[in-house]
Amino acid sequence: MSKCTAAQAIARAEYYDGYFEKATKAYVNRNDKAVFALDKGSNNYTWFGQVCGVQGGAWCAMMVSTAVLEACGGSVADARTVMHGVWPYTACNQLYDAAPSGYKGRRGQWTPKPGDVIVFSSDGSTREHTGMVYAVQGGYVYTIEGNSSNRCQKRSYLLTSSWIWGYVRPLYAAGVEPVLPVYQYGPVVCKDPELHLLTKGCAGPEVKTIQRIIYARGIDRDMVVDGDFGKRTKTGVINLQQLLGLDRDGEVGALTWTAALKKLA
């Protein structure tokens, strides 16, 4: 048996930070960094789909599965053991449901550790996104996620974020628990370093800034400035974008930041 450790699984997941999904199937059979930024698209064609045998579908869970498989030296049997009998899994609920008691828990009832699989839900019930925890520090959980704005990237959230549904602890081999540095762009969390992107589920000082702008512009005088990008903040952003004459996607990208700050000045 060559079950992987948590540190090995994280190392493989981190390797893919910056990988973009592809517009075509031209590069899906390659995982070298030379192709990470080539043929960018939104058709869910990825190396992870190639490994898991599913192309064209949501691939956040496939990224986690692939990282574990590669950390296990390519042994599907060992990867399946680590993932509580489920490999590859292509739905965010399957791993949580398969994990036995003591290896999983809901937000607020489970203390995450590096190597845990994090499960997200936008409505509190539908489990729709996942990633791997690589650090927990100062009230934040730091993750590596596939299918995040069409790419694999690092993000961070308040441990109390309503976007977090729960966690699963894979059945890793014994080893020294990894102690890894947090995302280099912290303490500003959940911000795409290229796009300056804030989306639902993000948390941190920049979320507070956009909440203050929403309040100051009179868009929502009951806005709570708590740094947690929830449903109310997204609605406020949509209304702010309408006021500014921008596309109303509910995400704070470079155009929204620039326009909002100019109007506030």
What is the C-alpha to C-alpha distance for residues 236 and 6, in angstroms, rounded to an integer?
39
Where does the pLDDT of residue 165 fall: very low under 50, low under 70, confident under 90, or very high at 90 and above? very high
E strand residue ranges, 138-255: 140-148, 151-158, 164-168
Give pLDDT, residue 193.
Answer: 42
Q: Quick check: 234 pLDDT over 70?
A: yes
Residue-averaged pLDDT of the chain:
85
Give the angle subtended at the CA of 221 by the CAs of 218 and 227, to the nearest 5°.
Answer: 105
Task: Report pLDDT digits (tens) over 96-135.
Answer: 999 999 999 999 999 999 999 999 998 888 899 999 999 8
Q: Quick check: 76 pLDDT over 60?
A: yes
Domains of the chain (ranges plus CATH)?
Answer: 6-168 (3.90.1720), 205-264 (1.10.101)
First-last CA distance in the chain: 62
Give pLDDT, residue 194.
Answer: 42
Task: Report pLDDT digits (tens) over 28-50.
Answer: 999 999 999 999 999 999 999 99
pLDDT above 90 covers a percentage of the chain that reads 51
DSSP state of 40: B
Looking at per-residue confidence, does 1 or 220 come out higher?
220
Task: Report pLDDT digits (tens) over 176-212.
Answer: 555 444 433 333 445 444 445 788 777 777 788 888 8
Looking at per-residue confidence, does 77 or 206 come out higher?
77
Give pLDDT, residue 174.
Answer: 81
The answer to whether 237 and 224 have CB atoms below 8 angstroms apart is no
3-state helix, strand, coil in the chain (%, to 5): 30, 15, 50
Q: Which amino acid is at 190?
A: C
pLDDT above 70 covers a percentage of the chain that reads 89
3 state SS for 64-96 = HHHHHHHHCCCCHHHHHHHCCCCCCCCCCCHHH
Whole-Å CA distances, 168 to 16, 106, 115, 201: 21, 9, 9, 19
CA gyration radius, the chain = 19
The answer to whether 89 and 52 have CB atoms below 8 angstroms apart is no
Q: Among the residues of the chain, which ranges form H helices?
A: 6-15, 47-52, 60-71, 76-82, 94-98, 205-216, 231-244, 254-264
Q: Which residue has the tokens 């549904």?
A: 165
Give pLDDT, residue 152.
Answer: 94
Where does the pLDDT of residue 263 fall: very low under 50, low under 70, confident under 90, or very high at 90 and above? low
Mean pLDDT of 158-164: 90
Where does the pLDDT of residue 87 fall: very low under 50, low under 70, confident under 90, or very high at 90 and above? confident
What is the C-alpha to C-alpha distance for residues 236 and 129, in angstroms, rounded to an integer?
23
Looking at per-residue confidence, does 213 or 132 come out higher?
132
Mean pLDDT of 81-85: 94
Of 70, 51, 85, nearest to 13 by C-alpha is 70
Give pLDDT, residue 264.
Answer: 53
Chain-centroid distance, C-alpha 231:
18
Whole-Å CA distances, 230 to 105, 144, 190, 203, 207: 22, 20, 13, 9, 10
Whole-Å CA distances, 144 to 4, 55, 64, 169, 254: 18, 21, 9, 15, 22
What is the C-alpha to C-alpha distance for residues 76 and 62, in angstroms, rounded to an integer?
13
